Chain A
Amino acid sequence: AQSVTQLDSQVPVFEEAPVELRCNYSSSVSVYLFWYVQYPNQGLQLLLKYLSGSTLVKGINGFEAEFNKSQTSFHLRKPSVHISDTAEYFCAVTDNYGQNFVFGPGTRLSVLP
Protein backbone atom coordinates (compact mmCIF):
# COMPACT_ATOMS: atom_id res chain seq x y z
CA ALA A 1 0.00 0.00 0.00
CA GLN A 2 1.12 3.51 -0.72
CA SER A 3 1.35 6.35 1.75
CA VAL A 4 2.33 10.00 1.69
CA THR A 5 3.89 11.97 4.52
CA GLN A 6 4.06 15.74 4.63
CA LEU A 7 6.39 16.46 7.49
CA ASP A 8 5.22 19.99 8.22
CA SER A 9 1.59 20.75 8.91
CA GLN A 10 2.23 24.51 8.92
CA VAL A 11 5.00 26.60 7.38
CA PRO A 12 5.14 30.35 8.07
CA VAL A 13 7.53 32.34 5.89
CA PHE A 14 8.13 35.99 5.15
CA GLU A 15 7.33 37.45 1.76
CA GLU A 16 10.16 37.16 -0.81
CA ALA A 17 11.87 34.43 1.23
CA PRO A 18 12.48 30.94 -0.21
CA VAL A 19 10.35 28.02 0.91
CA GLU A 20 10.52 24.23 0.79
CA LEU A 21 7.55 22.00 1.54
CA ARG A 22 8.52 18.42 2.21
CA CYS A 23 6.87 15.28 0.89
CA ASN A 24 7.92 11.68 1.35
CA TYR A 25 6.13 8.64 -0.01
CA SER A 26 6.25 4.91 0.35
CA SER A 27 5.47 2.52 -2.47
CA SER A 28 6.75 -0.81 -3.64
CA VAL A 29 6.43 0.05 -7.32
CA SER A 30 7.08 2.94 -9.66
CA VAL A 31 5.06 6.01 -8.80
CA TYR A 32 3.67 9.15 -10.30
CA LEU A 33 3.83 12.20 -8.06
CA PHE A 34 1.84 15.42 -7.86
CA TRP A 35 1.57 18.65 -5.93
CA TYR A 36 -1.78 20.39 -5.65
CA VAL A 37 -2.67 23.78 -4.15
CA GLN A 38 -5.93 24.64 -2.42
CA TYR A 39 -6.88 28.26 -1.84
CA PRO A 40 -9.49 28.97 0.85
CA ASN A 41 -12.96 27.66 0.02
CA GLN A 42 -11.85 26.32 -3.34
CA GLY A 43 -11.11 22.95 -4.92
CA LEU A 44 -7.61 21.65 -5.54
CA GLN A 45 -5.55 22.88 -8.49
CA LEU A 46 -2.62 21.01 -10.02
CA LEU A 47 0.73 22.75 -9.44
CA LEU A 48 3.04 20.22 -11.07
CA LYS A 49 3.51 16.51 -11.74
CA TYR A 50 6.26 13.96 -12.16
CA LEU A 51 5.49 11.07 -14.50
CA SER A 52 8.93 10.21 -15.90
CA GLY A 53 12.08 11.81 -17.33
CA SER A 54 13.85 14.73 -15.70
CA THR A 55 13.70 14.59 -11.92
CA LEU A 56 13.38 18.39 -11.66
CA VAL A 57 9.85 19.41 -12.51
CA LYS A 58 8.66 22.97 -13.02
CA GLY A 59 5.08 23.98 -12.42
CA ILE A 60 2.84 27.00 -12.34
CA ASN A 61 3.35 30.13 -10.24
CA GLY A 62 7.15 29.67 -10.09
CA PHE A 63 7.07 26.41 -8.11
CA GLU A 64 9.33 23.45 -8.81
CA ALA A 65 9.86 20.02 -7.27
CA GLU A 66 12.57 17.41 -7.37
CA PHE A 67 11.94 13.69 -7.45
CA ASN A 68 14.51 11.75 -5.44
CA LYS A 69 13.96 8.02 -5.81
CA SER A 70 16.62 6.95 -3.32
CA GLN A 71 15.14 9.16 -0.60
CA THR A 72 11.54 8.58 -1.77
CA SER A 73 10.95 12.31 -1.66
CA PHE A 74 9.28 14.93 -3.83
CA HIS A 75 9.89 18.27 -2.11
CA LEU A 76 8.28 21.45 -3.41
CA ARG A 77 10.30 24.66 -3.62
CA LYS A 78 9.89 28.28 -4.56
CA PRO A 79 12.81 30.76 -4.46
CA SER A 80 10.71 33.79 -3.52
CA VAL A 81 7.16 33.58 -2.19
CA HIS A 82 4.36 36.12 -2.46
CA ILE A 83 1.44 36.85 -0.17
CA SER A 84 -0.80 35.24 -2.80
CA ASP A 85 0.96 31.88 -2.26
CA THR A 86 -0.77 31.54 1.10
CA ALA A 87 -2.73 28.29 0.74
CA GLU A 88 -2.82 24.59 1.60
CA TYR A 89 -0.49 22.37 -0.41
CA PHE A 90 -1.06 18.66 -0.94
CA CYS A 91 1.34 16.02 -2.18
CA ALA A 92 -0.22 13.01 -3.92
CA VAL A 93 0.96 9.71 -5.37
CA THR A 94 -0.44 7.02 -7.61
CA ASP A 95 1.07 3.85 -8.96
CA ASN A 96 -1.75 2.87 -11.27
CA TYR A 97 -3.12 4.62 -14.30
CA GLY A 98 -6.11 6.65 -13.16
CA GLN A 99 -6.67 4.77 -9.94
CA ASN A 100 -5.68 4.64 -6.32
CA PHE A 101 -4.55 8.19 -5.69
CA VAL A 102 -3.27 8.80 -2.16
CA PHE A 103 -3.02 12.33 -0.79
CA GLY A 104 -0.88 13.58 2.05
CA PRO A 105 -2.46 15.47 4.97
CA GLY A 106 -1.44 18.84 3.57
CA THR A 107 0.90 21.69 4.54
CA ARG A 108 -0.54 25.12 5.26
CA LEU A 109 1.81 27.78 3.88
CA SER A 110 1.35 31.21 5.42
CA VAL A 111 3.26 34.05 3.77
CA LEU A 112 3.77 36.98 6.13
CA PRO A 113 4.31 40.60 5.05
Chain B
Amino acid sequence: NAGVTQTPKFRILKIGQSMTLQCTQDMNHNYMYWYRQDPGMGLKLIYYSVGAGITDKGEVPNGYNVSRSTTEDFPLRLELAAPSQTSVYFCASSPSYEQYFGPGTRLTVT
Protein backbone atom coordinates (compact mmCIF):
# COMPACT_ATOMS: atom_id res chain seq x y z
CA ASN B 1 0.00 0.00 0.00
CA ALA B 2 1.96 3.01 -1.29
CA GLY B 3 -0.56 5.72 -0.28
CA VAL B 4 -0.16 8.91 -2.35
CA THR B 5 2.73 9.01 -4.79
CA GLN B 6 3.96 12.01 -6.76
CA THR B 7 6.37 12.28 -9.65
CA PRO B 8 8.78 13.85 -10.28
CA LYS B 9 10.39 14.80 -6.96
CA PHE B 10 12.26 17.74 -8.48
CA ARG B 11 12.01 19.66 -11.74
CA ILE B 12 13.53 22.76 -13.26
CA LEU B 13 11.55 24.44 -16.03
CA LYS B 14 12.35 27.34 -18.30
CA ILE B 15 9.84 30.17 -18.57
CA GLY B 16 7.13 29.25 -21.08
CA GLN B 17 7.63 25.50 -20.90
CA SER B 18 4.84 23.13 -19.90
CA MET B 19 4.76 20.03 -17.73
CA THR B 20 2.49 17.63 -15.91
CA LEU B 21 2.86 16.72 -12.26
CA GLN B 22 1.64 13.20 -11.63
CA CYS B 23 -0.33 12.08 -8.57
CA THR B 24 -1.63 8.58 -7.85
CA GLN B 25 -3.35 7.13 -4.80
CA ASP B 26 -4.11 3.49 -4.09
CA MET B 27 -6.56 3.95 -1.20
CA ASN B 28 -9.71 4.28 -3.34
CA HIS B 29 -10.38 7.77 -1.97
CA ASN B 30 -12.99 9.85 -3.76
CA TYR B 31 -11.51 13.23 -2.86
CA MET B 32 -8.20 14.48 -4.25
CA TYR B 33 -6.47 17.84 -3.99
CA TRP B 34 -3.55 19.85 -5.32
CA TYR B 35 -1.83 22.41 -3.12
CA ARG B 36 1.16 24.66 -3.50
CA GLN B 37 3.35 25.57 -0.55
CA ASP B 38 5.35 28.78 -0.58
CA PRO B 39 7.70 29.68 2.31
CA GLY B 40 5.84 31.16 5.27
CA MET B 41 2.52 31.02 3.42
CA GLY B 42 1.09 27.64 4.38
CA LEU B 43 -0.73 25.63 1.75
CA LYS B 44 -2.93 27.12 -0.93
CA LEU B 45 -5.52 24.96 -2.69
CA ILE B 46 -5.14 24.94 -6.49
CA TYR B 47 -7.77 22.41 -7.60
CA TYR B 48 -9.73 19.60 -6.06
CA SER B 49 -11.87 16.69 -7.21
CA VAL B 50 -14.76 14.93 -5.47
CA GLY B 51 -14.67 11.94 -7.81
CA ALA B 52 -13.69 10.71 -11.26
CA GLY B 53 -14.82 13.17 -13.91
CA ILE B 54 -15.47 16.01 -11.43
CA THR B 55 -13.03 18.82 -10.69
CA ASP B 56 -13.32 22.32 -9.29
CA LYS B 57 -11.13 25.35 -8.72
CA GLY B 58 -9.57 26.18 -5.41
CA GLU B 59 -8.08 29.42 -4.18
CA VAL B 60 -5.24 29.79 -6.74
CA PRO B 61 -6.15 27.98 -10.01
CA ASN B 62 -4.74 30.43 -12.56
CA GLY B 63 -2.03 28.92 -14.74
CA TYR B 64 -2.99 25.33 -13.92
CA ASN B 65 -5.31 22.65 -15.25
CA VAL B 66 -6.40 19.26 -13.93
CA SER B 67 -8.25 16.18 -15.05
CA ARG B 68 -9.62 13.16 -13.18
CA SER B 69 -10.36 10.29 -15.54
CA THR B 70 -9.89 7.59 -12.88
CA THR B 71 -10.28 7.39 -9.10
CA GLU B 72 -6.54 6.79 -8.71
CA ASP B 73 -4.98 9.56 -10.80
CA PHE B 74 -5.16 13.34 -10.55
CA PRO B 75 -2.51 15.01 -12.76
CA LEU B 76 -1.79 18.73 -12.56
CA ARG B 77 -0.85 20.51 -15.78
CA LEU B 78 1.21 23.69 -15.91
CA GLU B 79 0.95 25.60 -19.16
CA LEU B 80 3.42 28.37 -20.01
CA ALA B 81 5.40 28.15 -16.77
CA ALA B 82 6.15 31.43 -15.00
CA PRO B 83 8.62 32.23 -12.16
CA SER B 84 5.62 32.78 -9.86
CA GLN B 85 4.91 29.06 -10.12
CA THR B 86 8.16 28.19 -8.38
CA SER B 87 6.92 26.30 -5.34
CA VAL B 88 6.53 22.92 -3.70
CA TYR B 89 3.42 21.11 -4.92
CA PHE B 90 1.57 18.59 -2.78
CA CYS B 91 -1.13 16.20 -3.84
CA ALA B 92 -3.52 14.79 -1.23
CA SER B 93 -6.41 12.36 -1.11
CA SER B 94 -9.20 11.89 1.41
CA PRO B 95 -11.97 9.40 2.17
CA SER B 96 -13.94 12.11 4.01
CA TYR B 97 -12.28 14.74 6.20
CA GLU B 98 -8.68 13.78 6.96
CA GLN B 99 -6.23 14.19 4.10
CA TYR B 100 -3.31 11.98 3.17
CA PHE B 101 -0.44 13.81 1.50
CA GLY B 102 2.16 12.79 -1.03
CA PRO B 103 5.86 13.65 -0.56
CA GLY B 104 5.69 16.69 -2.85
CA THR B 105 7.27 17.95 -6.06
CA ARG B 106 9.75 20.82 -5.85
CA LEU B 107 9.43 22.94 -9.00
CA THR B 108 11.72 25.78 -10.01
CA VAL B 109 10.92 28.01 -13.00
CA THR B 110 13.82 30.10 -14.29
Contacts and interface: CB of A to CB of B under 8 A. Distances in A.
Given A43-B90, A43-B104, A99-B48, A49 B42 contact: no
Interface residues of A, number: 25
Contacts of A41: 103-104
B33 interface: yes
A34 B96 CA distance: 13
A94 B45 CA distance: 12
Chain B interface size, as a band, is 20 to 34
A113 to B, nearest CB: 26
Given A98-B30, A101-B33, A46 B99 contact: yes
Interface in A79-113: 90, 94, 97-106
Contacts of B74: none
Identify which of A44, A102, A103 gathers the most chain B CB atoms within 10 Å of its CB.
A44
A43 B102 contact: yes
A105 B104 CA distance: 17
B83 to A, nearest CB: 22
B90 A49 contact: no
B4 A43 contact: yes
A49 B98 contact: yes
A98 B94 contact: yes
Nearest to A33: B97
Contacts of A99: 31, 48, 50, 56
A55 B109 CA distance: 44
Interface of B: 4, 30-31, 33, 35, 40-45, 48, 50, 56, 90, 92, 94, 96-104
